[in-house]
Chain A
Amino acid sequence: MTPRSGVDAADARAPWVRPLVALVVTAVFAVPLYLVVVNVFKPGEHITGSPASVPWPPTLDNLKAALDRPDNLYWDGLLNSAEITTVSIVVLAVLSAMLGHYLCRTRSRFARATLLVLLAGLMIPPQVILVPVVRILRLTHLMTTLTGMVAFNVGYYIPFGVFVFAGFIRSIPIELEEAASLDGAGRWRTFWTVVFPLLRPATASVLIFLGVWIWNDFLDPLIILGPVGGTTVTVGVYRALGEHQSNYGQLFGLMFLAALPVVVFYFLLQKHFVKGLTGGAVKG
């Protein structure tokens, strides 16, 4: 993004005002973020005593404690989160690209109605469907399993995937596909060799946004994985909260470790985040 370079008259008169105000506002906004970072490296008893102080000398005890929990909460959670997130987003990208293609390229009343029903799913809160979802998962013996969690994610987030892909697929000229099929390529090959590579920006958006949402998801894994089927890192933080009175330091360590992958991911792919979000804003 390249904001305007033209300088306002007021900016020219007092050029230090805007940066100063911007810095102060951001600093106030970032206080909670600062608190997490400093308290991770501070001995537990100092967290309640002087929460805002700079952690000097820094300690890694909190991180070690979170990593070495006897119940293996962090490592189990990390493994589950990684598996659920990776499998879900890969399946979602593939299935929603294909479904989006089918719904955009088929000119039947059925396809049009299906697209509407699917997009209505964008605004269905998970609470509205969770009770029956649990029944369906019990019936199919997928309750409290990672497979069940992934299957639910695919069903629940596919409207978003189709929504993103549909916009892109419509912008690909159909002549391209017709040319490929004249050359003898079947639908399957045309899609994977001609269409899908052109959808790369949409695929990136889908993978990034769904990856963050699914990693951070709280309610769905809380209910579907339940207390026995293990947990994700996000639900793990919630579970550790119950015991925080005794161990604030470890809780901050756990929280830091749970958030770290997403935050690093965000810093690396910042441009894609912004592009994915603002594609719609600019187009209107």
Chain B
Amino acid sequence: MTALQDTLRDSRQPTRKTARTSARTRRSNLGYFLGFGAPGLLFYACFVFAPLVLSLGYSFTNADAFLPHTKFTGLHNYVKLLGDPDFRTSLRVTTILTLIIVIVPNVAGLAVAVLLNRNGRLYRALRTVFFVPVVLSSVVVSVVWQAMLTDGGLLDTVLGSMGVKHPPGWLSDPSIALYSVGWIASWQLLGFCTVVYLAGLQGVPDDLLEAAAIDGAGRWTRFRRVTWPMLAPALTINTVMLLITGFKTYDYVQVITHGGPGTGTTATVAYGVIQTGFTENKTGMASAMAVLMLIIVAVVSSVVLRLLQRREVEL
């Protein structure tokens, strides 16, 4: 599409240009850049691009708010990080959390989309409910779930009335808290996936499903062979969105667990970067963590995107 437009535009370009008009064109192009491109780019350069370069720069130094002199230390921060058990724990925590966040809302969101893929006021109302958490702030979601999952909270009260005497510490048991955080994030992100899958489901032609039914395909076969392949673009969007969101999980940890219970059982890399950079003021070390985080996000999400898009094409 774009390529086509480009070629069309090429053929329209005048073949002969006088020196005067090309000078005027150049001046007008500069005006176009300064008027249209530059203002937006300036903000991006100041608050994203320059900080990114600075982060990379800091990561090779021992920059620290409590040290008077900043020295170039090469790869020291990176070497130290990779051998640091706390950082390795945070990598493990982030990986588990990201896996939960990529899988649970994707699967549950699809199930809900299939369930609600019908006309009528009832289904429209129910679809609305599922999207509400998406527009809520994660701080609000965190506070509500904390009230539910805290020791002796609502869930324990309900379980107690059903005869469960010693419910697990959903947020206080170091071996469970991480899964609770994953659950909370999944609850908030589910509605996003549902809406995207519903749009995909509507793109599945009815006659294709009917033809499959006439050929004797059962419900499951129809879903597996007809519907599911056609949901490939929706799967790509959801997976990549969830992946990027999962990697930077911070809000739930900051509001609910502060990285605990115990030491670092829910401390994600994103949480570690903020702790190291703003609480411990170790700018250099925080920057090295940030750079590693960005590399992981960039590599993993572009590989996943590539794989999923190849799958779409093979359809």
A and B form one complex: yes
List residues of A whose CB falls within 8 A of some B CB. 1-6, 8-10, 18-19, 21-23, 25-26, 29-33, 35-36, 51-52, 95-96, 98-99, 101-103, 106-107, 111, 114, 117-118, 120-121, 123-136, 151-152, 154-156, 158-159, 162, 170, 174, 187-188, 191, 212, 215-219, 223, 234-235, 237-238, 241, 248, 251, 255, 258-259, 262-263, 265-267, 270, 273-274, 277-278, 280-284
With A26-B129, A131-B286, A133-B51 in contact, is A212–B135 under 8 Å at CB? yes
Interface size class of B (residues with CB under 8 A): 35 or more
- Interface pairs (15), CB distance under 8 Å: A29-B187, A29-B190, A52-B157, A98-B36, A99-B40, A114-B41, A123-B298, A127-B248, A129-B48, A129-B52, A131-B283, A154-B40, A187-B32, A273-B195, A282-B200
A277/B298 in contact, CB under 8 A: no
9 closest residue pairs by CB, A with B: A155-B47, A99-B40, A278-B199, A125-B248, A216-B137, A132-B54, A284-B233, A102-B37, A132-B51
Task: Name the residue of chain B whose CB is nearest to the CB of A114.
Answer: B41
Q: Are B29 and A258 in contact (CB under 8 A)?
A: no
Closest A residue to B188 by CB, please name it.
A32
CB–CB A125/B270 < 8 A:
yes
Contact of B301 among A6, A123, A212, A280 (CB under 8 A): A123
**Provided the pairs A170-B2, A174-B5, A218-B251 are in contact, do residues A32 and B196 lie with their beta carbons within 8 angstroms?**
no
Q: How many whole Å from A157's CB to the nearest CB in chain B?
A: 9
Minimal Cβ-Cβ distance residue in A for B191: A29
B146-203 contacts to A, CB under 8 A, are 147-148, 153-154, 157-158, 187, 190, 192, 195-196, 198-203
Whether the Cβ atoms of B254 and A219 lie closer than 8 Å is yes
Given A3-B117, A266-B132, A10-B219 contact (CB < 8 Å): yes
Asked if B119 is at the interface of the complex by the 8 Å CB criterion, the answer is yes
Q: Is the CB of B248 within 8 A of A98?
A: no
**Separation of A159 and B32 alpha carbons in the complex (Å):** 19
Contact B283 A35 (CB under 8 A): no
Question: What's the least CB distance linking B71 to chain A, in Å?
Answer: 18
CB–CB A281/B44 < 8 A: no
Q: Are B234 and A281 in contact (CB under 8 A)?
A: yes
Q: A4-B206, A35-B148, A102-B37 are in contact. Are A117 and B49 (CB under 8 A)?
A: yes
Known: A3-B118, A3-B202, A98-B36. A280 touches B137 (CB 8 A): no
- Known: A22-B126, A35-B147. Contact between A99 and B112, CB under 8 A? no
Q: How far, in Å, is B40 (CB) from chain A's closest CB?
A: 3
Chain B interface SS verdict (over half): helix
Contacts of A274 in B (CB 8 A): 131, 195, 199
Which residues of A sit under 8 angstroms from B213, Cβ to Cβ? 9
A132 near B135: Cβ-Cβ < 8 Å: no
> Would B46 and A155 count as touching, CB distance under 8 A?
yes
Does B247 count as interface, using CB distance less than 8 angstroms?
A: yes
Residue of A nearest to B231 (CB): A281
Are A132 and B147 interface neighbours, CB within 8 A?
no
Known: A9-B213, A170-B1, A262-B137. 17 other contacts (CB 8 A): A3-B201, A4-B206, A5-B119, A22-B126, A32-B148, A33-B129, A35-B147, A52-B154, A127-B290, A128-B293, A130-B273, A131-B273, A131-B286, A134-B278, A188-B35, A219-B254, A259-B140
On chain B, the residues within 8 Å of A103 by CB distance are: 37
Q: Measured between C-beta atoms, what is the minimum distance from B236 to chain A in Å?
A: 8
Closest to B115 in A: A22
Give chain A residues whose Cβ lies under 8 Å from the Cβ of B112: 25, 29
A221–B209 Cα distance when bound, in Å, is: 50
Residues of B within 8 A of A (CB): 1-2, 5-6, 9, 28-29, 31-33, 35-37, 39-41, 43-52, 54-55, 58, 112, 115-119, 122-123, 126, 128-133, 135-141, 143-145, 147-148, 153-154, 157-158, 187, 190, 192, 195-196, 198-204, 206, 209-210, 213, 219, 233-234, 237, 244, 247-248, 250-251, 254-255, 270, 273-274, 277-278, 283, 286-287, 290-291, 293-294, 297-298, 301, 312
Q: From the candidates B29, B47, B119, B273, name the one contacting A2 in the complex (CB within 8 A).
A: B119
Given A6-B206, A158-B43, are A102 and B199 also a contact pair (CB < 8 Å)?
no
> Contact at B202–A4, with CB atoms within 8 Å?
yes
Q: Assess the B44–A25 pair: CB atoms within 8 A.
A: no
A216's partner among B49, B138, B297 (CB-CB below 8 A) is: B138
Residues from chain B with Cβ under 8 Å of A124 in the complex: 48, 52, 294
Known: A98-B37, A129-B47, A234-B139. A22 touches B278 (CB 8 A): no
- Quick check: A280 and B237 within 8 Å, CB to CB? yes
Contact of A223 among B154, B278, B287 (CB under 8 A): B278
Residues in B neighbouring A1, C-beta threshold 8 A: 198-199, 202
- Quick check: A3 and B198 within 8 Å, CB to CB? yes
B298 CB contacts on chain A under 8 angstroms: 120, 123
